[in-house]
């Protein structure tokens, strides 16, 4: 006889679902809180309506040019009804299997394999009740099944051009992420338990947060990601000792105080992005790349870009070269007396550095010895999801909006775009935490930096988007800056390319294309994690890993097939690459001791501009 228990007969009592931890609320307290929710909801609606324009007729606006993409999708699907029927049959079969499995669990307590496994690392479904409670497990699997089906269906429709397909896939994912059961009170077990436990006080607090965020955004919902009261730049962020030794309208140059008796002869100049502020490289002492580099014996200089307003609206990409890159390079030489400099370019700062190297090569300027690029793109043919926002209609809409604002793109608009690339982590997780659970956001240095947004001058931003992202002129050798046509093949200095495996902004596949762009020796390295954590990974953290390969085969896939994985931080690996290119050791340089006078203490005043 089998050891397995027999299935119960028709008169057997079904197995009861596990009770979980769903407390009964205090009815009177719950009623009071629901009344408060009603009052706050009324205020929310009135405040929202107060920010709207009066009746001026109805105008349908599609600034992201999404509508036409989905019209094209529908047209293609109507041309092949067989494919639609096959997709629907697949969905029905999946839901039928899910119903069968759920019935087995509910009636007989069977252990069954999930029809759709929960994606590894998906934080939306971390609460144990998503797995152990049959009802919530069914809701979760039903969502995942439908979400996967929807994304697979739109992805396999034939006859769409590549940009339209990418746009459809991107906005389908946005819809799917928004519809997750984790984003709603009654279908999220963690929220439901909290609502019952607190008699609805979490919803009262959550609505208070919504009202505050609307007021802060002047009618637009500006979700607070971090408790910003816990941070202040120059006090507990960006605290590495140093001085501002040069400045102009566009930037300040910081020179950091040495912590070793001797330093490498050739200084290290860092060109960070101006889309965010430089102190991502100098958050806290324990994760500061700048402090670490100083400790390795480098004379470190960093550009701190101004947060531009309408006065600087006509600053173009050329100006970031002639008033940013070149003056920073010259000032670094003046502060050290060195005729040679090593440089790091980060993100768009790396794109500018590439342009600067090509500009220098065309003029026979050989002051830069080596170049390191952190998650930087020079060839934008595979630039990831950001290309969804780059078409003529969207660029025209952006230009009109920037002109209306005074000649710049508001920092919040840029932040929203980047947040959409990881909407579950950077949008919906805060909706759940702040509004449904009614909790205050955490004090997290990285999120504070992420929320410390900067503006983009209209001339620079549109030039960058059109010439790099849309037309890819830099990689094709067709881009002109400061009256010089840029040919990347003239760049012969040694290059170190750092990419990140899960980067949504500068995908590793896109960064890898730079291995074929230059004429000098190139080393490519891929770090674990994403655009920020892949870079900011100090050795002391003992997190993630990185991959290296002595060759640069034609594709990233081929490179990865022959790559070696090393656990931990890549910083020491890069240091071993840079040190031989940095000259001998000389007496440590003190800011202000050479040609340049000290203007103010680091981190300077530009980085504090809101």
* Catalytic residue ranges: 347
Element containing residue 253 per DSSP (H, E)? strand 251-256
Contacting residues for 371 by C-beta, under 8 A, at least 6 apart: 342, 343, 344, 345, 353, 354, 357, 491, 493, 494, 495, 496
Closest by CA to 278, choosing from 505, 604, 29, 598, is: 604
Going by C-alpha positions, the residue among 360, 596, 581 that lies closest to residue 491 is 360
- Spatial separation of the C-alpha atoms in residues 459 and 398, rounded to whole Å: 12
Three-class SS state of 482:
coil
Are 371 and 519 in contact by the 8 Å Cβ rule? The answer is: no
Residue ranges of alpha helices (H) inside 188-316 are 189-197, 201-216, 289-295
**606 touches 307 (CB < 8 A):** yes
* Residue 180 near residue 144 (C-beta atoms within 8 A): no
Q: Residue 136 in contact with residue 189, Cβ under 8 Å? A: yes
Phi, psi of 256 (to 5 degrees): -95, 145
| Helix, strand counts (H, E) of the chain | 22, 17
CB–CB of 293/268 below 8 Å?
A: yes
How do the residues of the chain divide into helix, strand and coil, expressed in percent and rounded to 5? 50, 10, 40
d(CA 176, CA 178): 5
Prior bond of 603 cis (ω within 30°):
yes
Cβ contact 283:237 at 8 Å: yes
Paired with 546 in beta bridges are 527, 566
Contact between 284 and 236 (Cβ < 8 Å): yes
Q: Which of 325, 310, 526, 280 is nearest to 418 (CA)?
A: 280
Collapsing DSSP states into helix, strand and coil, what is residue 15?
coil
Neighbours of 495 (CB within 10 A): 22
Q: How far from chain centre, in Å, is Cα 495?
A: 25
Q: How many CA atoms lie within 13 A of 92 on its CB side?
A: 6
Asked if 240 contacts 289 with a C-beta cutoff of 8 angstroms, the reply is: no
Q: How far apart are CA 582 and CA 11, in angstroms?
A: 83
Q: How far apart are CA 33 and CA 37, in angstroms?
A: 6
Six-digit token string for 231: 């941070």
């Amino acid at each position: 006889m089998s050891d397995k228990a027999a299935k119960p007969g028709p008169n057997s009592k079904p197995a009861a679902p596990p009770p979980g931890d769903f407390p009964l609320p205090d009815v009177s307290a719950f009623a009071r809180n629901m009344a408060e929710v009603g009052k706050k909801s009324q205020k929310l609606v009135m405040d929202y309506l107060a920010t709207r324009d009066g009746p001026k007729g109805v105008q349908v606006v599609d600034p992201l040019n999404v509508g036409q993409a989905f019209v094209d999708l529908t047209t293609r699907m109507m041309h092949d009804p067989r494919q639609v029927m096959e997709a629907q049959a697949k969905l029905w079969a999946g839901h039928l299997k899910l119903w069968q499995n759920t019935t087995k669990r509910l009636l007989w307590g069977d252990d069954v394999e999930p029809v759709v496994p929960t994606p590894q690392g998906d934080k939306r479904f971390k609460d144990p009740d998503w797995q152990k409670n049959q009802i919530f497990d069914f809701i979760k699997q039903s969502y995942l099944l439908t979400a996967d089906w929807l994304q697979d269906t739109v992805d396999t429709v034939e006859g769409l051009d590549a940009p339209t397909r990418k746009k459809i896939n991107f906005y389908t994912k946005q819809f799917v992420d928004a519809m997750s059961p984790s984003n709603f009170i009654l279908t999220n077990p963690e929220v439901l338990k909290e609502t019952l436990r607190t008699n609805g006080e979490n919803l009262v607090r959550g609505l208070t947060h919504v009202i505050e965020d609307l007021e802060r955004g002047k009618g637009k919902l500006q979700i607070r990601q971090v408790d910003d009261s816990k941070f202040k730049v120059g006090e507990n962020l960006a605290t590495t000792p140093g001085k501002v030794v040069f400045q102009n309208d566009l930037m300040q140059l910081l020179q950091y105080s040495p912590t070793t008796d001797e330093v490498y002869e050739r200084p290290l100049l860092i060109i960070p992005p101006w889309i965010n502020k430089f102190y991502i490289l100098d958050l806290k002492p324990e994760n500061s790349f700048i402090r670490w580099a100083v400790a390795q014996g480098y004379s470190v200089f960093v550009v701190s870009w101004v947060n531009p307003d309408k006065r600087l609206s006509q600053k173009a990409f050329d100006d970031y070269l002639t008033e940013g890159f070149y003056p920073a390079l010259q000032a670094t030489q003046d502060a050290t007396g060195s005729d040679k400099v090593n440089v790091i370019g980060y993100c768009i700062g790396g794109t500018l550095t590439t342009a600067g190297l090509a500009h220098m090569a065309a003029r026979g300027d050989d002051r830069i010895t080596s170049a390191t690029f952190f998650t930087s793109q020079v060839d934008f043919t595979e630039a990831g999801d950001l290309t969804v926002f780059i078409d003529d209609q969207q660029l025209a809409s952006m230009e009109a909006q920037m002109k209306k604002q005074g000649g710049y793109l508001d920092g919040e608009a840029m932040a929203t775009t980047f947040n959409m690339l990881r909407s579950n982590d950077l949008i919906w997780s805060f909706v759940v935490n702040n509004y449904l659970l009614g909790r205050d956001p955490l004090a997290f240095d990285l999120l504070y930096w992420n929320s410390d947004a900067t503006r983009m001058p209209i001339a620079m931003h549109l030039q960058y988007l059109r010439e790099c992202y849309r037309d890819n002129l830099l990689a094709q050798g067709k881009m002109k800056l400061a009256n010089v046509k840029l040919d990347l093949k003239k760049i012969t200095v040694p290059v170190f390319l750092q990419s990140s495996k899960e980067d949504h902004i500068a995908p590793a596949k896109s960064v890898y294309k730079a291995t074929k762009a230059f004429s000098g020796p190139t080393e490519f390295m891929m770090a674990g994690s994403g655009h920020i954590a892949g870079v900011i990974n100090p050795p002391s953290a003992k997190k993630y890993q990185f991959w290296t390969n002595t060759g640069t085969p034609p594709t990233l896939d081929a490179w990865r097939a022959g790559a070696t994985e090393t656990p931990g931080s890549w910083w020491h690996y890069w240091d071993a690459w840079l040190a031989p290119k940095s000259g001998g050791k000389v007496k440590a340089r003190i800011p202000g001791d050479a040609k340049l006078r000290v203007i103010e203490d680091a981190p300077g005043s530009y980085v504090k501009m809101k």
